[in-house]
Amino acid sequence: MGVVNMAAKSIELKGFGTIMISPINIKEQEFETVDPAGNPVTSKTVGTRAKTVYVNDKGVEIPNNQVCKKFLVEDEELICPKFSPTKELDAENIEVLDDNGLIYSALERKFYAVVCDEPKIKQLVLEDNKSLKMPMTYGSGWKIWQAILTNWNGKMLLVACRGDLVRELEKYSEDTVELNIEVIPQQKNMKKLVKAMMV
């Protein structure tokens, strides 16, 4: 968290007083970019079309499909290529929730329509009004989302969430100009899940 260094904007609320506002930036959690052996690489722009490439300390270009990130997951350092999209989840990574509050407080969200004929899921979500929370990856990249499968007006909706505004605002002060958004959720079994996605 930093100190306010942006010009605040003044807004007069007639009959109430004046407030000063400054934007709060959402800061992406950062991790070191490395080659498959864990050696640091740096990015540079080459060519007239501004292509980004990664090179090691000897100046050798690392192919894009070999660029990795170094994460600390459950106190173990893992070198991860881009994650594969989620196709299957173990039951231990799925949590049944009584509410779907994270879909309202997430700092970043993606929405997905859901079609499902599974009686157990339909019973839980549509009839019992429960939500299922599970970690998922979409596309290929290094982000793991918290997916909430929930009942939205009698239909199933999946909301992929990153970051938690409620948790971040607990750290908020007048000097805060950044909120953090995590790349990998901190929860039990995440190390196993991350390894499964490193295909």
Q: In terms of pLDDT, which residue wins out, 78 or 47?
A: 78
| Residue-level pLDDT at 1 | 36
Contacts of 78 (CB under 8 A, 6+ apart): 70, 71, 72, 191, 194, 195, 198
Instruction: Round to whole Å and give the CA distance between 63 and 46.
Output: 14
Is it the case that residue 190 has pLDDT exceeding 90?
no
Cβ–Cβ < 8 Å for 137, 86: yes
pLDDT tens by residue, 58-86: 888 889 889 999 988 888 889 999 998 99
Cβ–Cβ < 8 Å for 31, 142: yes
- 48 in any annotated domain: no
Identify the burial level of 191 via C-beta atoms within 10 angstroms of its C-beta, where 0-12 means exposed, 13-18 middle and 19 or more buried: middle
Contacts of 177 (CB under 8 A, 6+ apart): 1, 2, 3, 4, 5, 6, 22, 23, 24, 25
- 58 in any annotated domain: no
CA 13 to chain CA centroid, nearest Å: 36
Range of the domain at 121: 9-30+83-197
- 39 in any annotated domain: no
Contacts of 178 (CB under 8 A, 6+ apart): 1, 2, 24, 25, 26, 27
- 99 in any annotated domain: yes
How many domains does the chain fold into? 1
The mean per-residue pLDDT over the stretch 121-145 comes to 93
- 55 in any annotated domain: no
| Residue-level pLDDT at 117 | 94
- 47 in any annotated domain: no
pLDDT tens by residue, 8-39: 799 999 999 999 888 888 888 888 999 999 99
Confidence of residue 7 (pLDDT cuts 50, 70, 90): low
- 152 in any annotated domain: yes
Q: Which residue has the tokens 């490193």?
A: 198
pLDDT tens by residue, 82-127: 998 999 999 999 999 999 999 999 999 999 999 999 999 999 999 9
Tokens of 199: 């295909």
- 155 in any annotated domain: yes
